[in-house]
Amino acid sequence: MKIIILGAGQVGSSLASNLVSEANDITVVDHDATLLHNLQEHLDLRTIMGQAAHPDVLLKAGAEDADMLIAVTNSDETNMVACQIAYSVFHTPKKIARVREADFLKHKEIFGDRGLAVDVHISPEQLVTHYIERLIDYPDALQVLDFADGRVQLVAVKAYYGGPLVGQALRAFEDYLPNVETRIAAMFRRGKPIIPEGDTVIEVDDEVFFVAATDNIRAVMAGLRKLEQPCKRIMIAGGGNIGTRLASALEKKKYYVKLIEHNTNRTEIISEILNQTIVLQGDAADEDLLREENIDEMDIFCAVTNDEQINILSAMLAKRMGAHKVMALINRPAYVDLIESSTIDIAISPQQATIGTLLTHVRHGDVVVVHSLRRGAAEAIEAIAHGDKHTSKVVGRRIEQIKLPPGTTIGAIVRGEQVLMAHHDMVIKSEDHVILFLVDKRRIAAVERLFQVGILFL
């Protein structure tokens, strides 16, 4: 697939890295020569220096025969105009724009049939807010990802000493939870993947990914660790788009929320937007302020300012001063593993939250959800099976008959309103939503081919 990416920032470069590894023809456009040079040093792609929305720049980038344009510059206006020009001048089939400003998103007519030629618009702030919200709802989890409109979730949990099933084989789940269906999709031990089998023993510190119906998530988690009490008191550092959206979502769920913002004018604006949140003007890394606001009573401290250094420092300080769990928004992927090995419980990568949504629209076959996992190395997808046994490699076949690529497991099937955990003798039906986990995302092309419809034999 020939794809043009506008913007070589964190999101654009992460997306380029993901797509190049899947043998796509990628061209990246940016006005910053240094960013483009860094990309070319590490990735096999073309770069064009220039203004992303200019027709002559798009022409140089190959817009005349591009299959897709993905506009992820730092300017909403540039992204939207570039999509319109790609449609009007070059008839580019698919156009995706990153739109961060909430005011644009309020007016659906902007992107309607008579609006701008933007086929898909994504809001990183909305995606990150939803991601953090899920982590607060399930404070014992490392990741919580939705499938099938929220009916199924994939959850990552670290196994702790004292968990009822730690030290036991996976098949013990059936005895421990006789009335709950779950499927272990993958396990990582000391950073390396383990293919889960019935006799695989869960060890302390194993990272376990499991799939279950949303209503059963906490019951399954309780088998791997002693569950903490649900969170009630949240402190947010940063009153930007993410911090304000997060506070608004949490106060509606009856959490007790405090928000710290250093800018006086912004603090006044936030105070008018939020109804139940206590809004404080000050420095999130100010030890005296944190002490005055009883940081030691907070269940979660979440640092989401625009400065990742402030996020790191304030989260580390909050943890040292008694906050039960701390999270920090980290833009540089290289920092994430380093940070999570220190006193910070969860490092949130906005790129990873955004990349999955973008990849959903790039995948071949009918792929409706993509989640990028473990810094992009692994992936979880929801694909819809179409056709019949003559035109599909999966429909009409038992799961054990499907030739899945190495390191790929089927976790669950969503059939209409039913959520079914995958078993070896289960037969895939047409229109089933199949949830798969790939330990190695380089196998994605092989998975996509399984879900493409074509005449297999006559």
Domains by residue range for the chain, with CATH: 2-122 (3.40.50.720), 140-224 (3.30.70.1450), 233-352 (3.40.50.720), 361-451 (3.30.70.1450)
pLDDT value, residue 367 = 82
Helix (H) or strand (E) holding 19: helix 10-20
Query: Using CA atoms, how far apart are residues 208 and 156, in angstroms rounded to an integer?
Result: 5
Contact present, 358 and 340 (Cβ < 8 Å): no
pLDDT value, residue 457 = 45
Instruction: Find which of 50-64, 160-174, 332-346 is predicted with most confidence, using mean pLDDT.
Output: 50-64
- The set of residues, in sequence order, having a beta carbon less than 8 Å from that of 43 and lying 6+ positions away, is 16, 17, 20, 26
Q: DSSP readout, 122-135? A: E-HHHHHHHHHHHH
Per the structure block, which two tokens stand in for 295?
């940081």
Instruction: Find which of 138-142, 149-153, 243-247 is predicted with most confidence, using mean pLDDT.
Output: 243-247
Q: Is 49 helix (H, G, I), strand (E, B) or coil?
A: strand
Q: Could you tell me which residue, 321 or 423, shows the higher pLDDT?
A: 321
- Angle of helix 10-20 versus helix 350-360 axis, rounded to 10: 50
177-226: pLDDT as tens digits: 888 888 888 888 988 888 888 899 999 999 999 999 888 898 898 888 88
Which amino acid is it at 1?
M
Query: Using CA atoms, how far apart are residues 155 and 455, in angstroms rounded to an integer?
Result: 37
Contact present, 223 and 165 (Cβ < 8 Å): yes
First to last CA, the chain: 29
Per the structure block, which two tokens stand in for 271?
């105070």
Nearest-CA neighbor of 314 among 251, 235, 230? 235
Per the structure block, which two tokens stand in for 141?
């989890």
Strands ordered across the beta sheet of 94-98: 46-49, 25-30, 2-6, 68-71, 94-98, 120-122
424 phi/psi in degrees, rounded to 5: -60, -30
Query: Using CA atoms, how far apart are residues 409 and 332, in angstroms rounded to an integer?
Result: 30
370-398: pLDDT as tens digits: 887 766 667 888 999 998 888 889 999 99
Helix (H) or strand (E) holding 155: strand 152-158
pLDDT at residue 455 tops 70: no
Does the pTM surpass 0.85? The reply is: no
96-136: pLDDT as tens digits: 999 988 788 778 888 877 889 999 888 888 889 999 999 99
pLDDT at residue 432 tops 90: yes
Query: Using CA atoms, how far apart are residues 179 and 219, in angstroms rounded to an integer?
Result: 10
Contact present, 169 and 228 (Cβ < 8 Å): no
Q: What is the DSSP letter of 31?
A: S
